[in-house]
């Protein structure tokens, strides 16, 4: 057997082994896809509409560099779902880039396999994001309600004048007028007292 024949025999052996392994790999990959699809559907039913990303692999060497693979929940091509992406950059050079994002089942298989362990962290991050966003929305809603109440108290008939506080002071115009009259009376009294003393 020549060395060329030996190489061909080796390739055939490895190809045969690969052919035997491929169906098992594809079946395992399909199982992973189905499991993530179930989780994806559960998240979609919550209708949270928030994005969050978690690193599952970091490759940056210096503090000013980053090269991260991330799993997240985001809108990709108009669809919300679990997604994967790679982001990289150099803060010093102000250079930034990314690959993806891809919906989980469309991402490269290597990224899918590496990211699975971080799914619990992603769910936790989404929960925190939802809690923080709820507080912000509640505060903004309160501000808008206060504004709407203040506007609703303004009379719709312009001929009807309602006393309103001077901006920022909380004092009504009629109260300011009364204070001014009081100050004038005291000044008049002090002026008369000085005249008497002078006489």
Greater model confidence, 158 or 25: 25
Residues 21 and 89 in one domain: yes
User: What pLDDT, on the 0 to 100 scale, is given for residue 116?
Assistant: 92
Q: pLDDT confidence of 4, banded at 50, 70, 90?
A: confident
Residues 196 and 100 in one domain: no
What's this model's pTM, rounded to 2 decimal places?
Answer: 0.62
Mean pLDDT over 2-14 rounds to 80
Residues 179 and 128 in one domain: no
Greater model confidence, 171 or 92: 92
Residues 104 and 173 in one domain: no
pLDDT 10s digits, 39-90: 989 999 999 899 999 999 988 677 778 889 999 999 999 999 999 999 988 8
Structural domain for 134, as ranges: 8-140
How many domains in the chain? 2
pLDDT 10s digits, 105-121: 999 988 999 999 999 99
Residues 53 and 123 in one domain: yes
- Output the 3-class SS for the chain: CCHHHHHHHHHHHHHHHHHHHHHHHHHHHHHHHHHHHHHHHHHHHHCCCCCEEEEEEECCCCCCEEEEEEEEEEEECCEEEEEEEEEEEECCCCEEEEEEEEEHHHCCHHHHHHHHHHHHHHHHHHHHHHHHHHHHHHHHHHHHHHHHHHHHCCCCCCCCCCCCCCCCCCCCHHHHHHHHHHHHHHHHHHHHHHHHHHC
User: What pLDDT, on the 0 to 100 scale, is given for residue 185?
Assistant: 66
- Residue 103, beta-bridge partner list: 83
Phi, then psi, of 60 in degrees rounded to 5: -65, 140
| Domain annotation covers residue 1 | no
| Domain annotation covers residue 145 | no
Tokens of 87: 């982001």
| Domain annotation covers residue 126 | yes
Q: Tell me which residue of 91, 105, 88 sits closest to 34, measured CA to CA.
A: 105
User: What pLDDT, on the 0 to 100 scale, is given for residue 189?
Assistant: 54
User: What pLDDT, on the 0 to 100 scale, is given for residue 143?
Assistant: 87
């Amino acid at each position: 057997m020549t060395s060329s024949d030996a190489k061909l025999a080796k390739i055939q052996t490895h190809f045969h082994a690969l052919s035997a392994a491929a169906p098992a790999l594809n079946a395992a990959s399909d199982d992973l896809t189905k499991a993530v699809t179930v989780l994806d559907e559960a998240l979609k039913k919550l209708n949270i509409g928030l994005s969050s990303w978690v690193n599952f692999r970091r490759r940056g060497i210096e503090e000013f560099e980053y090269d991260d693979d991330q799993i997240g929940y985001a809108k990709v091509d108009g669809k919300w779902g679990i997604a994967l992406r790679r982001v990289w950059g150099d803060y010093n050079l102000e250079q930034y880039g990314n690959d993806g994002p891809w919906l989980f089942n469309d991402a490269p298989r290597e990224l899918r396999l590496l990211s699975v362990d971080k799914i619990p962290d992603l769910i936790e991050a989404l929960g925190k994001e939802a809690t923080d966003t709820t507080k912000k929305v509640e505060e903004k809603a309160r501000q808008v309600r206060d504004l709407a109440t203040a506007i609703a108290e303004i009379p719709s008939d312009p001929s009807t004048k309602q006393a309103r506080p001077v901006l920022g002071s909380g004092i009504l115009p009629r109260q300011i007028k009364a204070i001014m009259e009081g100050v004038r009376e005291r000044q008049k009294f002090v002026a008369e007292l000085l005249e008497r003393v002078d006489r």
